[in-house]
């Protein structure tokens, strides 16, 4: 028996477990690109309009940091440019989820121990997870290229673009394989890999927005940068596509070597003994929820600060482009308002609102994982009521979301100030603009709470699907000119564009009321149903 | 004596799977009550209904005089629970979990806490992810035993303990009985129930099939007799309630229904007894009588400890 015996059987098992999840990822990302092509076709029916927009965008550091550089002036290059960030994040996240799920998560729950006692080699689980994740990325590449070609884009460019996105997924397949060896829990292995995905985004954002003489080389360090540096629809650099392949091969080898150096269910990061007594404060459900969530909140808050500073400092120079009516119109379509710096920050902050909604969902769903892991039972068997238990996690979700958004706003304000276009009042207005996203994010969290209370088994899939739809609405809604009846479903549609827009308290009040009502209905459902 | 637990006609189904099918169970205050049954018989479902985690489909359940569903939080101050499969927060130490659960219940006795840590030889500074199944079980046991409550609900609490720790556990339950606490001990380990319990309820396919003191239940089963007589016995095969009779000259071995023991002994002493050994029925026999050859019971789909929600 060698170290990969049984890989085939484990791969089939993984495909059987993930068949729905992988199909959803593959189709959603393909549809995302297809809708972008379709939308731009409708938005710029003439070459002149397209060229004007492209000429303006190619020199705008803010847009460059958000979406990357533009290569060429065709519908294809516009699509590749517009979808680069989200496409790379999408394939990266998918790969991380698949790899961790079949390696560290199975090891943590003990499933791998059961499987490992059969005729299965030491590396079989790792290799099968890598195969499944790579296969899913290749599937995305093939389908996406086919869809783009079918919509009339040049074949070579379509293939280069799709391969670029798939390549980002491949690179993060390798990253997740390594973090699965380093961390001892699936949660921290996943967190570490997603953190690195964020670093890859920021490296690309800083590199792409740098002027001549600036640190442009930073983009070359990021797998997300490679997805654009192959210049799909421009003069294609095919060799760039070898970078992710080399990366995944190197990281997978590294992971296999690390796996030999550690014990089953152990990580490589050290474990230390802890206190023999619980702190005096650790005696309420809220203290428990806070203790369970504080590490992730700290990570999210620091991420939001760095993200804000980077994005804010990239906003310099936008004012010079104000002359172009076309750019102005586009920025407004992307979610902005008058005043391009403000519009840019507003667009970024509404993106931050979506990210914060993702955080809020993950906190709310912690209730569900506490329940399914049977850790909720001993707590609910004490004098803690279900309402108090549920409310404790929901409070952390609400407070954490508000904190993350304020810090993201603080970051953009600081970033602007660093580039000497800000100051105290700018920082304050950016913090408020970040805070203004909170009611919409909390509506999404309230929906997750409602699903958890009434349909716990569907709560995870349901909440993330809702967020996915809202994200697609924000990114594609204006481009494909969805009816406002459809767009109005998203809570984010109703927020004023801040900073810079006109402020009315009305949407904040009723969005907050909806969020509270949804959460209350969820808690009422939780009180009435069976636990477990 | 009022009943600490009073269950009548309790029903619970998960979809098409019937977990409890008209269960009756009465636990009087101050007794240690064995709740015996194979995996999947409905023991965990019963306990989860008593904890107000599940809502019964039918029948009544009273716990310490209250309704376990509507008065859950108040009742929970007066009881402690140890699940069969203890799952802890991986980055909490054992000591933190003990203190947390104790405080959430309304406080715990610091002196008892430290003596229990000693008795169960548990290191409270280790993170829960590094604990074995047995050590996780000890954490839950110590948290429960160190709190000042009237009722202990223990769901297969010794499943992961080694024999030494199991002995410590028995001592602890003995102490609890001395303190006058009520204990519901769910188990499929017969020797444990035999050693600890005043009364036993045997559950099968969601229904109580026997309930009573061990002495009561023994009357329902057979005693093994082996005797050496002065002369050959006469007419033993005619006696009611005598089974597996084997006579070899003056030696007799047989099994007899416990309530028919008297008749057999009269007949034996009539023949003159030289030596006699009698073995009382063990709980094992009782148990096997209800479950032997009982296919559906062994492989019952109903949920029990360790089961994942259906």
The answer to whether the CB atoms of A185 and B103 lie below 8 A apart is no
Tokens representing A370 are 């506490």
* Contact call for A284 and B126, based on CB within 8 A: no
- Average confidence (pLDDT) over B37-57: 91
> Can you give the pLDDT at residue A421?
65
Beta-carbon separation of A378 and B140 below 8 A = yes
Decide if pLDDT at B307 tops 50: no
**Among candidates B88, B99, B104 on the partner chain, residue whose Cβ is nearest the Cβ of A277:** B99
Residue boundaries of the structural domains of chain A: 1-267, 284-532
pLDDT band at B299 (very low <50, low <70, confident <90, very high): very low
For residue A529, the chain B residues in CB contact (below 8 A) are 55
pLDDT at B302 over 50: no
Q: Is the pLDDT of residue A82 over 90?
A: no
Contact (Cβ atoms closer than 8 angstroms) between residue A14 and residue A135: no
Contact B96 A531 (CB under 8 A): no
pLDDT single digits (tens) A471-519? 888 777 666 777 777 778 888 888 887 777 677 888 899 999 999 999 9
pLDDT value of position A318: 56
> Rounded CA gap, A479 and A469, in Å?
15
For β-strands B199-204 and B207-213, DSSP reports them as antiparallel
Which among B53, B105, B130 is the nearest to A532, CB-wise? B53
Distances (CA, A) of A492 to A277, A339, A438, B19, B284: 45, 20, 10, 46, 66
Helices (H) and strands (E) in chain B, counts: 11, 13
**A278, A385, A528: residue with CB nearest B96:** A278
Cis peptide, bond prior to residue B37, ω within 30 of zero = no
A37 pLDDT tier (thresholds 50, 70, 90): confident
Res A349: pLDDT: 85
Of A183, A151, A20, A135, which is closest to residue A79 (Cα–Cα)? Answer: A151
B201-225 b/e (C-beta count within 10 Å ≥ 16 → b): bbbbbbbbbbbeebeebbeebbbbb
Kindly list the residues from chain B whose CB atom is less than 8 angstroms away from the CB atom of residue A274: 92-93, 95-96, 125-127
Tell me if A492 sits within 8 A of A474, measured CB to CB. Answer: yes
Element (H, E) at B223: strand B222-229
Question: What domains, with CATH codes, occur in chain B?
Answer: 3-78+150-217 (3.40.50.300), 222-280 (3.30.70.920)
Give me the mean pLDDT over the A210-236 stretch. 84
Tens digits of residue pLDDT in A256-282: 998 888 777 676 666 678 888 888 889
- The 8-class DSSP code of residue B92 comes to S
- Report chain B residues whose CB lies below 8 A from the CB of A528: 55
Write out the DSSP string of B32-79: EEEEE--TTSSHHHHHHHHTTSS--SEEEEEETTB-TTTTHHHHHTTE
Please report the DSSP string for A498-527 in residue order.
TTTS---HHHHHHHHHHHHHHHHHHHHHHH
- Environment class of B164 (CB within 10 Å of its CB; exposed 0-12, middle 13-18, buried 19+): exposed
Between CA B258 and CA B281 the distance in angstroms is 9
Measuring CA to CA, which residue among B57, B66, B54, B70 is closest to residue B21?
B57
What are the contacts of A300-305 at 24+ separation with CB within 8 A?
A300/A359, A300/A400, A300/A404, A301/A403, A301/A404, A301/A407, A303/A195, A303/A198, A304/A352, A304/A355, A304/A356, A304/A404, A304/A405, A304/A407, A304/A408, A304/A411, A305/A407, A305/A408, A305/A410, A305/A411
3-state secondary structure A139-204: HHHHHHHHHHHHCCCCHHHHHHHHHHHHHHHHHHHHHHHHHHHHCCCHHHHHHHHHHHHHHHHHHH
| CA A47 to chain CA centroid, nearest Å | 33
């Amino acid at each position: 028996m060698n170290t990969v015996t049984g890989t085939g059987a484990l791969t089939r098992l993984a495909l059987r477990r993930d068949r729905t999840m992988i199909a959803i990822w593959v189709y959603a990302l393909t549809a995302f690109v297809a809708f972008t092509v379709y939308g731009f076709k409708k938005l710029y029916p003439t070459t002149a309009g397209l060229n004007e927009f492209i000429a303006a965008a190619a020199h705008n550091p803010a847009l460059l940091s958000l979406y990357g550089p533009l290569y060429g002036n065709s519908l294809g290059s516009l699509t590749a440019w517009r979808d680069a960030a989200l496409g790379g994040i999408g394939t990266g996240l998918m790969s991380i989820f698949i790899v961790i799920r079949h390696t560290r998560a199975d090891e943590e729950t003990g499933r791998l121990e059961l499987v490992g006692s059969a005729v299965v080699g030491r590396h079989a689980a790792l290799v099968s997870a890598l195969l499944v994740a790579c296969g899913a990325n290749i599937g995305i590449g093939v389908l996406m290229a086919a869809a783009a070609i079918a919509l009339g884009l040049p074949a070579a460019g379509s293939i280069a673009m799709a391969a670029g996105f798939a390549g980002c997924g491949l690179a993060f397949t390798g990253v997740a394989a390594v973090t699965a060896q380093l961390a001892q829990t699936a949660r921290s292995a996943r967190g570490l890999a997603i953190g690195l995905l964020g670093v890859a985004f920021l490296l690309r954002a800083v590199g792409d927005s740098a002027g001549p003489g600036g640190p442009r080389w930073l983009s070359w360090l990021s797998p997300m940068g490679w997805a654009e540096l192959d210049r799909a629809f421009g003069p294609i650099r095919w060799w760039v596509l070898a970078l992710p392949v080399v990366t995944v091969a190197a990281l997978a080898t590294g992971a296999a070597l690390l796996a030999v150096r550690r014990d089953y269910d152990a990580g490589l990061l050290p474990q230390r003994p802890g206190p023999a007594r619980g702190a005096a404060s650790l005696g309420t459900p809220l203290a428990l929820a806070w203790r369970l969530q504080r590490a992730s909140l700290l990570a999210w808050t620091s991420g939001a600060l760095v993200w804000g500073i980077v994005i804010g400092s990239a906003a310099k120079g936008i004012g010079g482009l104000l002359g172009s009516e076309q750019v102005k119109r586009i920025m407004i379509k992307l979610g902005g308002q008058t005043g391009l710096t403000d519009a840019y920050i507003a667009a970024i902050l509404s993106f931050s609102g979506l990210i914060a909604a993702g955080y809020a969902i993950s906190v709310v769903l912690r209730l569900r994982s506490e329940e399914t892991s049977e850790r909720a039972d001993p707590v609910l068997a004490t004098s803690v009521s279900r309402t108090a238990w549920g409310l404790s996690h929901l409070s952390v979700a609400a407070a954490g979301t508000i904190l993350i958004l304020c810090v993201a706003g603080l970051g953009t304000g600081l970033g602007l100030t660093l580039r000497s276009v800000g100051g105290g009042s700018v920082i304050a207005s950016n913090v408020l603009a970040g805070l203004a996203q909170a009611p919409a994010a909390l509506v999404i969290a309230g929906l997750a709470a409602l699903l958890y209370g009434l349909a716990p088994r569907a709560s995870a899939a349901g909440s993330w699907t809702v967020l996915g739809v809202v994200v697609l609405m924000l990114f594609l809604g204006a481009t494909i000119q969805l009816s406002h009846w459809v767009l109005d479903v998203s809570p984010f549609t109703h927020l004023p564009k801040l900073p810079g827009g006109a402020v009315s308290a009305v949407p904040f009040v009723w969005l907050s009321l909806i969020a509270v009502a949804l959460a209350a209905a969820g808690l009422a459902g939780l009180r009435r149903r069976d636990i477990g | 004596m009022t009943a600490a637990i009073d269950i009548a006609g309790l029903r619970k189904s998960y979809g098409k799977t019937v977990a409890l099918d008209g269960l009756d169970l009465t636990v009087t205050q101050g007794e240690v009550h064995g709740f015996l049954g194979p995996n999947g018989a409905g023991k965990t479902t019963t306990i989860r209904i008593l904890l107000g985690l599940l809502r019964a489909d039918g029948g009544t359940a009273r716990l310490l005089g209250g309704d376990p569903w509507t008065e859950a939080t108040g009742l929970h101050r007066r009881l402690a629970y140890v699940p069969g499969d203890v799952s802890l927060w991986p980055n909490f130490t054992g000591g933190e979990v003990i203190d947390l659960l104790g405080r959430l219940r309304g406080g715990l006795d610091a002196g008892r806490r430290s003596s229990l840590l000693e008795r169960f030889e548990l290191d409270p500074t280790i993170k829960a992810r590094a604990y074995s199944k047995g050590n996780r079980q000890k954490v839950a046991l110590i948290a429960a035993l160190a709190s000042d409550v009237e009722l202990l609900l223990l769901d297969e609490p010794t499943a992961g303990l080694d024999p030494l720790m199991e002995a410590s556990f028995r001592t602890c339950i003995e102490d609890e009985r001395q303190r006058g606490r009520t204990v519901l001990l769910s188990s499929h380990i017969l020797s444990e129930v035999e050693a600890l319990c005043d009364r036993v309820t045997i559950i099968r396919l969601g229904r109580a099939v026997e309930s009573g003191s061990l002495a009561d239940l023994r009357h329902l089963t057979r005693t093994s007799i082996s005797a050496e007589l002065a002369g050959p016995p006469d007419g033993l095969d005619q006696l009611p309630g005598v089974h597996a009779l084997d006579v070899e000259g003056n030696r007799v071995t047989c099994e007899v229904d416990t309530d028919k023991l008297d008749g057999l002994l009269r007949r034996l002493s009539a023949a003159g007894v030289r030596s006699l050994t009698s073995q009382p029925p063990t709980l094992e026999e009782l148990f096997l009588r209800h479950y032997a050859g009982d296919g559906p019971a062994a492989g019952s789909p109903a949920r029990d400890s360790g089961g994942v929600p259906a």
